[in-house]
Amino acid sequence: MKKYKFTIIILTLCLHTNLFADIAPNPIKAKSISSKDQTSIRMESEKVIIDLYNDSSVVKCLFNMKNLGEQEKIQIGFPEMTFHYYQKISNLDEANRFEVKENGEVVNFDFSDSLRYDKEYHKKVESYQIKEEWYLWESEFQQGESKTIEVQYSLPFGMLKRTNERFFIYLLSTGANWNGTIGKAEIIVNLKDIEMDSIISQKPNNCVISNDQLIWAFSDFEPTTNDDIKINYNSNKILYTRKKPIPPVFIVDENFVNEFDLKTIEPNDIASIEVIKNPRETKKYTNQNYGVIKIYTKNFALSELKRLIKVKSNEKIVLPKYDQLKEDYRLFINENEVDFVKIIGIKTKSVARLKIIDSKDEKAKIMIELKK
């Protein structure tokens, strides 16, 4: 794990975001910074309890820290970001929304002014497009000293534009800048006025669901963005009453898929996507005029090619994975070079000849001649 004394990560989210984040060493500079100094302070444990409501959330964090080195004085920053406020909040209201204690004693904190003179940032603030605050406080650790840091704050909800879907994010990854690994962490999300069946998805996958709680546990780990807590849920409060759009028909690897969600497939696994809008064309697949989306994965295209080669070629050849295949080979059908995805749909009985031509100077050629 990196051990920078003055390192912090700035994150940017879309409109009206609900973002929760770990404490991290500071000062702050937008986008990226580096420091020659290191910190000896380790996060021994972290416990986070979130009360999640339809319209807001209350977050309580308990961090146990220990100085593994000499006496050290650092500035600690807690990134709390909310976006697209519909009305301004006074400094007093802002302060009441956030509280920090060290060993049970209330700590005074300041707001960051690192972006105050950024003109573009200032314009966004004035137009209510963005509101971003860092809460900063000084902390001194004696040699070998342990401290308990408590942080509590509240935020509005996060919402995806023009949908009834909302989301919650807690960033474990911003705690990666302390010394060594994090000893252990427990994240507990209490669903208050949200039904469990309203939860669309939750990440990471090591989530334990118990009654009205979502619980994550980690031990001796270096947090990355893969560990960040992400919950998508449908609000019980309907914001949009317009007619719900009817989704197109999805065909994935020649199979019709009902209620297909593009989030379930990795973009790098896709060989091609074809969107069919013409009613004459969509009638080949469905009687509904809502469009057809055909998706072919790389594994499916590769298996189709292997099938033809196995039946139609006397040569024994071991093909690489799809991405490497495109680097090493060229595909020709009736002497016309085509993309490898064009292999899909070709029936074995329609192939007159299949020949593979190796070359030392250029890519190997897979030549397919179709029957007339």
Give the H/E segment covering residue 95.
helix 91-96
How far does CA 323 lie from the centroid of its chain?
24
Q: How many CB atoms neighbour CB 271 within 10 A?
A: 21
Q: What confidence tens digit (pLDDT) does each residue in 176-223 have?
A: 778 889 999 999 999 988 888 889 899 999 999 988 999 999 999 988
Residue 61 tokens, joined: 């964090």
Residues 26/5, Cβ–Cβ less than 8 Å: no
Using the structure block, give the residue that is written with the tokens 């406020």: 85
* Dihedral of the alpha carbons of 201, 11, 17, 162, in degrees to the nearest 10: -70
Q: Beta strand 131-141 with 199-203: parallel, antiparallel or unpaired?
A: unpaired
pLDDT, tens digit, 9 for 90 and up, residues 324-344: 999 999 999 999 999 999 999
CA 91 to each of CA 49, 97, 126, 227: distance values in angstroms, whole numbers, following the listed order: 26, 10, 16, 33
Q: What is the DSSP string of 128-185?
A: TS-EEEEEEEEEEE-TT-EEEEEEEEEEE-EE-TTSSEEEEEEESGGGGGSSS-EEEE
User: Which run of H or of E encompasses 323?
Assistant: helix 322-328
Q: How far apart are CA 325 and CA 303, in angstroms?
A: 12
List the domain boundaries for the chain: 18-234, 314-370
**pLDDT for the residue numbered 5:** 36
- For residue 97, the model assigns a pLDDT of 64
- What pLDDT, on the 0 to 100 scale, is given for residue 133? 52
76-107 burial string, b = 16+ CB within 10 Å, else e?
A: bbbbbbbbbeeeeeeeeebeebbebebeeeeb
- H or E segment at 303? helix 298-312
What pLDDT is recorded for position 7? 29
Predicted TM-score of the model (pTM): 0.52
What are the φ and ψ backbone dihedral angles of 131, each rounded to 5 degrees?
A: -140, 120
Amino acid at 195: E
End-to-end CA distance of the chain: 63
Contact 356, 367 (CB under 8 A): yes
C-alpha span between 292 and 257 (Å, rounded): 11
d(CA 23, CA 174): 7
Write out the two tokens for 119.
């003109």
Structure-token pair, residue 31: 């986008």
Q: What is the residue-level pLDDT of the chain in tens, covering all 372 positions?
A: 433 333 222 222 222 333 344 544 432 222 222 223 468 889 899 999 989 888 778 889 899 999 999 998 887 766 554 433 333 344 434 445 678 899 999 888 765 554 445 566 555 545 544 444 556 678 889 999 999 999 887 777 777 666 678 888 888 887 777 888 999 999 999 998 888 888 989 999 999 998 899 999 999 998 888 988 888 888 755 444 445 567 788 889 988 887 777 778 888 899 988 888 888 888 888 877 778 889 999 999 999 999 898 888 877 788 899 999 999 999 999 999 999 999 998 998 999 999 888 887 789 999 999 988
Q: Are 203 and 229 spatial neighbours (Cβ–Cβ below 8 Å)? A: yes
94 three-class SS = helix
User: Domain 18-234 maps to which CATH number in 3.40.50.10470, 2.60.40.3680, 3.40.1180.10, 1.10.3720.10?
Assistant: 2.60.40.3680
Measure the CA–CA gap between 244 and 247, rounded to whole angstroms.
9
Pairing of strands 229-234, 165-171: antiparallel
Taking the C-alpha atoms of residue 32 and residue 270, their distance in angstroms, rounded to an integer, is 32
Give SS3 for 125: helix
Per DSSP, the three-state class of 50 is: strand
Phi, psi values for residue 269, rounded to 5°: -90, -5
